[in-house]
Structures are given as C-alpha cells and as structure tokens.
Amino acid sequence: MNTGLKVLNPGLHTTVQDLGRVGYQALGVPVSGALDAVALRLGNALVGNPPGAAALEILLSGPTLEVMAETARVAVAGPGASLSIGDGVRVVPAWQSVVLARGDVFRINLGRESVCAYLAVEGAIALPRVLGSASTYVRAALGGFEGRALRRGDVVPLAIDRAPDRVEQRLPSPPPAASEQPIRVVLGPQQDCFTGEALAALLDAEFHVSKSADRMGMRLDGPLLCHRRGWDIVSDAIATGAVQVPGSGQPILLLADHQTTGGYPKIATVVSADLAVVGRRRPSDAIRFAAVTVEEAEQLARYDERRIATLIASLEPVPDGGRIDLASLYAGNLISGVVTAVE
C-alpha cells in the first residue's frame, strides 16, 4: 500500500512548494516556491523538518485529505487557518502539530483573514527535485506533483509511514496576518521613468488587490502611475517583489512565479522582509507602500531572520488540556439508572 495523503477534494489551488528553485533565472526558469516562506518554515519546524522541506501550499480554499500511512504528524501554518478531523468534531488550530492515523479524513480550513496556508508533514513530501527544488511551476508543468495543482484521487507520497513518538509542538505567539501593515519598498530600479506625481501617488495613495491575482503577481487597483516617456524599456532581470507598470499605468506586484525578465519599467521593489506579508493579501485587500533605503532593507532582512529564529526557538509542548476521548465516551455506559418525571 502506498504511503501518502489521498486527495478527496483538492481545494481551489493546492500545490507542492518549498523555498524555491534558486540559481536558474539566467536560463529563464522562475524561482517559484512558497508565497509565504515564513509560514512554510514555521510549519516545517513544528513537525521537525528542515526549513525548506516540501509542503502543500493551499490558496483560498482548502483540500480534504485522507491519511494513507500508519501515522502522520502534520501541522497547518497560516494566520486564521485550522485543521478539522472527521466530521469536524475535533478542530486543531494552526501553528500546532498533531498525529493522524491511517484512514483519518481531515480538511484544511482558511479563515476570512487567510488566503494562503501550508500543510507540513513530518519527513516531508517524497517527490523528486527538479533543478534542485520540489516546487511546482504550473505554467511549465515543472516540479511538484506532475507539474500541476492537485486533483481528486491523487495520492501525494510521504517519506515515512510512521511518525516518531514524541510530544506535539505549538507556536505560542504566531505571526499575525498583518493586513494593515504598510509594504516597504526600495524605489527603482527605473523610478526615473515615472513622473513626480506617479512617485507621490505610489507612496501616498491606497491600492487594492484586484481579482487579477495569482502566484505570478497581483494587479493593483488605484491611481494610475504615469510614465515620463513611454513604457517600453530594454528587457532586464526581474526580482520577486518588483512593481512593474505597463502602459495602462496600473501597477503589477510580481510574486513567486514571476517571469525572469521584462520590458516594462519597475517603479519599486518590495523588500524581502515583507514578501511573506504580501503573500497573505487577498483580492480586495488594501495595500499601502512606504519607501526605505537599500541599507534599511538589508537591516529589515537581518531583523526578519532573527525574528523567525526566535519564533522557532519559542516552540513549546502542546498542553494535554484533557482532550475528550470520543471513542471511549461512546463505548461507555453513562446511564446507571432510569429517572422519570413522575414522583
């Protein structure tokens, strides 16, 4: 019998992701990887995996899965997410590990403030690495599970059939959704292609994530950002988080599956410390930008790494809490006599 997770319902867009396919952009291969790398790393820490172990990335609507292993230790990572087992009598919150047994059926739930969550499994998902990564790049059918999002009936293979016996872990102070946090950017590299009014609008106005948003990028609704002299430039490299502005004047914030080069000018680039925050935004959410220097962006990146390390170090055992054993409860004779309303 195969060891894995059987997909009973795939959700809206569930793919295998890790920390990305680094080092191949010069060959035209996008990095891909997790939209919220912080949640992925924390989820892996909860189940005892290395930070970049492959997990399931869940967008907008969660899957329903069945355990096809003797036991599997799993954890859901993502603000507002949760895991419901069976008919939903037992719900495990995000940021906490739990062991499931063969035949257990569970669903990943995403809350109102959640657009993206991760299901980490101890031992990781057992899929081959393509160019050094198990991440799925759907547009090229590269990596992941057959290069695509999961479908009903798929069995996602797991590396181990039995989870080791140990105390479950939880994250006592998980990161917030940060839906109100301004997104910090470094201006450029082509900010001189835009009018002063466009630069002012970028930093002063409020934008909203449009319905035209996916893992490649999100188009932002808001004031149009006008170019000084046309909008075509010689194609150059694109970094994750670049804010490019085509001829429409409507900015596009590029995410994990972005193209490697582009011929539209880029007015700003999101700092690496805020990429996970952007990955948590959903259509209609507001986005405001704040400019920082390159030196400040580097300091923010160092602080972010220290923050993640502190969060991982804070993991603690899940308290017993007297969880009800439903099987024993149903099997027991709770009625010792008969009482009537007649005196």
The most confident of 225-229, 281-285, 303-307, by mean pLDDT: 303-307
pLDDT tens for each residue of 151-170: 999 999 999 999 999 999 99
Pairing mode, if any, of strands 289-291 and 183-187?
Answer: parallel
pLDDT tens for each residue of 324-336: 444 444 444 444 4
Contact 58, 36 (CB under 8 A): no
For residue 335, the model assigns a pLDDT of 45
- pLDDT range class, residue 178, cuts 50, 70, 90: confident
Taking 70 as the threshold, does the pLDDT of residue 323 lie above it? no
Taking 80 as the threshold, does the pLDDT of residue 342 lie above it? no
pLDDT tens for each residue of 198-218: 999 999 999 999 998 999 999
Contact 315, 96 (CB under 8 A): no
For residue 257, the model assigns a pLDDT of 96
- pLDDT range class, residue 175, cuts 50, 70, 90: confident
CA 37 to CA 194: how far, in whole Å?
Answer: 32
Contact 318, 167 (CB under 8 A): yes
- pLDDT range class, residue 1, cuts 50, 70, 90: low
For residue 340, the model assigns a pLDDT of 44
CA 279 to each of CA 47, 78, 95, 115, 313: distance values in angstroms, whole numbers, following the listed order? 22, 11, 18, 8, 24
For residue 282, the model assigns a pLDDT of 87
Contact 17, 57 (CB under 8 A): yes
For residue 111, the model assigns a pLDDT of 79
SS3 150: coil
Taking 90 as the threshold, does the pLDDT of residue 2 lie above it? no
User: What share of the chain in percent tops pLDDT 70?
Assistant: 93
Greatest Cα-to-Cα distance within the chain, rounded to the nearest angstrom? 94
CA 67 to each of CA 56, 57, 97, 243: distance values in angstroms, whole numbers, following the listed order? 14, 17, 15, 41
Taking 70 as the threshold, does the pLDDT of residue 343 lie above it? no
CB-based burial label for 309 (10 Å; 0-12, 13-18, 19+): exposed
pLDDT tens for each residue of 234-250: 899 999 999 999 999 99
For residue 338, the model assigns a pLDDT of 43
- Residue closest to 219 by CA, chosen among 207, 231, 230: 207
Torsion from C-alpha of 180, 186, 187, 189, nearest 10 degrees? -140
What does the pLDDT average to over 51-65? 96
- b/e string for 44-74 if b means 16 or more Cβ within 10 A? bbbbbbeebbbbbbbbeebbbbbbbbebbbb
What does the pLDDT average to over 133-160? 97
CA 306 to CA 255: how far, in whole Å?
Answer: 23
- Compute the mean pLDDT over every residue in the chain, rounded to the nearest whole number: 91
Describe the chain by its helix, strand, coil percentages, rounded to 5. Answer: 20, 30, 50
